[in-house]
Amino acid sequence: MDDLFAMDDEQALAWDLRERKYRANDYYGEGRPAAIDILDGSTGLLVTAPHSLHHFRHGRKKPADRYTGSYAELLHAALDATAVIPTGPIGRWENWEDRDDPFRHALDRLSTPSTLVVDLHGMSDRHGVDVCLGLGPAPTAASEELAHRLAEELHPYQVSINTPFAATPHYTVTAYVQTRTPADAIQIEMAANIRNPVLHPKRSGDFLGRLIRGLERFRT
């Protein structure tokens, strides 16, 4: 793979340092329960990393999507995007109706008709693709176009759309935003080996650069 976006040791270390606040307390985060960070940007891009920390579904603990919290920070900095990221223990919830916490309130407040929510997640390396773009239950022509353009932009990484993660379950941020707010949304699931600046600095730096370039044209 050509070295289009190299990341030096210092940048890799800086990225890893950003992850510390999420890694704190065994990945329950350094903040108080339900705490989030909102990093304000001036574009229509809203980046979320709802699984920056451990969380629960159907009573079972789901491990944090490592480095997605710091990833959202990096996209905020590079793209002037707004970012919403949990920084303290995420409460248990099953339905958005029951979810009465700062994360949901931030989504409600920040999702306008001109907002594109980019919901970042981490998947394991065993799915056979590097990235899976999930269009959610109610994609628009714009989000479908974005997905196809991103897939091209991210080449030579293996990018799939909707398989294995389509973001259609009701509990996803993408489903919530598409069906309960005026904003548009897309989910990005990244394999572990493209989002770890310590174990995979070269691939992670390169992928980050390509993703930034791919999202740049969708800032409004």
Least Å distance, CB 65 to Zn ion, is: 4
Least Å distance, CB 189 to Zn ion, is: 7
CB atoms within 10 A of CB 97: 9
Nearest CA to 53 among 83, 81, 33? 33
Q: What is the per-residue binding string for Zn ion in 122-151, x denoting contact by CB under 5 A?
A: ------------------------------
Which range, of 60-68, 71-79, 129-137, 167-175, touches Zn ion by CB under 5 A? Answer: 60-68
The pairing of strands 131-134 and 184-191 is antiparallel
Which range, of 5-13, 29-37, 63-71, 76-84, touches Zn ion by CB under 5 A? Answer: 63-71
Question: Rule CB under 5 A: is residue 54 a binding residue for Zn ion?
Answer: no
Question: Rule CB under 5 A: is residue 51 a binding residue for Zn ion?
Answer: yes
- Residue whose entry in the numeric block shows the structure tokens 């770890």: 196
Residue 88 to residue 66: CA distance in whole angstroms:
15
Residue 29 to residue 205: CA distance in whole angstroms:
24
Least Å distance, CB 114 to Zn ion, is: 26
Sequential DSSP letters for 45-80: EEEE-TTSS-EEETTEEE---TTHHHHHHHHHHHHT
Question: Rule CB under 5 A: is residue 121 a binding residue for Zn ion?
Answer: yes
Total interface residues for Zn ion by CB under 5 A: 3
Question: Rule CB under 5 A: is residue 65 a binding residue for Zn ion?
Answer: yes
Which range, of 47-55, 91-99, 102-110, 194-202, touches Zn ion by CB under 5 A? Answer: 47-55
Q: Which of residues 65 and 206 has its CB atom nearest to Zn ion in the complex?
A: 65
Residue 148 to residue 165: CA distance in whole angstroms:
16
Characterise 70 by phi-psi region: left (phi > 0), alpha (psi -120 to 50), beta (else): alpha
Cα angle at 173 between 51 and 195, to 5 degrees? Answer: 40
Question: Rule CB under 5 A: is residue 119 a binding residue for Zn ion?
Answer: no
On whether the CB atoms of residues 118 and 157 are closer than 8 A, the answer is: no
174-193 residues in contact with Zn ion (CB under 5 A) are none
Q: Which of residues 7 and 167 has its CB atom nearest to Zn ion in the complex?
A: 167
Both tokens of 140, joined, read 């628009």
Q: Which of residues 7 and 133 has its CB atom nearest to Zn ion in the complex?
A: 133
Which range, of 2-10, 32-40, 49-57, 136-144, touches Zn ion by CB under 5 A? Answer: 49-57
| Count of residues making up the chain | 220
State the residues that interact with Zn ion by CB under 5 A.
51, 65, 121
